[in-house]
Amino acid sequence: MKFDKKTIFSDLSFKLKQGSMTALLGPNGTGKTTLINILMNMLVPTSGSFTFAKTVRLGYVPQFRNIDAEYPLSIEAFVGLNSAIFKTKKTKSAIKKQLEETNLYKIRHTRMGEASGGQKQRAYLAQALLDNPNMIILDEATASLDPLAKDELMQLIKHLNEKHKITVLFVTHDVPLARKYMQNYLYLNNRQIEQGKMSQFEEAYE
């Protein structure tokens, strides 16, 4: 990938297995978000290509921080934001299921602006899950959370992987957290990518 004449990365080659949990690690500015944007078809790479198996249904979970205190929608309305305005019974029950799954059902009427960071982040996750993905990409989803909220989110992601076989690609700077919850890593540095088992990840940038 190049921006003007600046090469962000080149000759990247990797495979993600169905049902795997992978941390995408790397120092600031090495192109993690750029790579995710390419995978999400939001950016066209300068050269090269990639494919997802035909069965892959991709979901994306952004960071919660762009929700400010004035944000008017309830958690429930936010989760259903991408579905039709007049909700069918089926959609309503799917929203309820995801609110329960993400431990938000009891506080579904809380305004998003008033929700905690962890709750907002889980609402983003519930919103992505509503489309029934079998792979999710999370972009620094734990970055602004306190340790408890981080663990709660990670437990949930682990559960989604174990129970629903959802493939996970998790962008993070938090190596200890990745060690605790992810099986594999992709490490983007010096324009190259390295892939391996999380338990064997050793890098100076920690």
Ligand X SMILES: Nc1ncnc2c1ncn2[C@@H]1O[C@H](COP(=O)(O)OP(=O)(O)OP(=O)(O)O)[C@@H](O)[C@H]1O
Number of residues lying near ligand X (CB under 6 A): 10
Least Å distance, CB 29 to ligand X, is 4
Does residue 34 belong to the site contacting ligand X (CB under 6 A)?
Answer: yes
Residues 6+ apart with CB under 8 A from 165: 18, 19, 134
- Quick check: 162 and 131 in contact, CB under 8 A? no
- Quick check: 75 and 41 in contact, CB under 8 A? no
Does residue 8 belong to the site contacting ligand X (CB under 6 A)?
Answer: yes
Per-residue H/E/C for 20-79? CEEEEECCCCCCHHHHHHHHCCCCCCCCCCCCCCCCCCEEEECCHHHCCCCCCCEHHHHH
Least Å distance, CB 5 to ligand X, is 11
Q: Which lies closer to ligand X via its Cβ, residue 42 or residue 53? A: 42
Residues 6+ apart with CB under 8 A from 6: none
Does residue 133 belong to the site contacting ligand X (CB under 6 A)?
Answer: no
Q: Which lies closer to ligand X via its Cβ, residue 1 or residue 16? A: 1
Does residue 205 belong to the site contacting ligand X (CB under 6 A)?
Answer: no
Least Å distance, CB 177 to ligand X, is 15
> Residue 191, Cα to own-chain centre: how many angstroms?
22
Does residue 3 belong to the site contacting ligand X (CB under 6 A)?
Answer: yes
Alpha-helical runs (H) found in the chain: 32-39, 75-79, 89-101, 117-129, 147-164, 175-181
Interface positions, 13-32, toward ligand X (CB under 6 A): 26, 28-32
Query: Angle at the Cα of 114 (from 109 to 116), degrees rounded to 5?
Result: 100
Least Å distance, CB 135 to ligand X, is 19
Least Å distance, CB 46 to ligand X, is 12
Q: Which lies closer to ligand X via its Cβ, residue 99 or residue 188? A: 188
Q: Which lies closer to ligand X via its Cβ, residue 62 or residue 113? A: 62
What track of x and - describes contact with ligand X for positions 106 through 125 (by CB under 6 A)?
--------------------
| Integer Cα distance of 188 and 148 in angstroms | 28
Q: Which residues bind ligand X (CB under 6 A)?
A: 3, 8, 26, 28-34
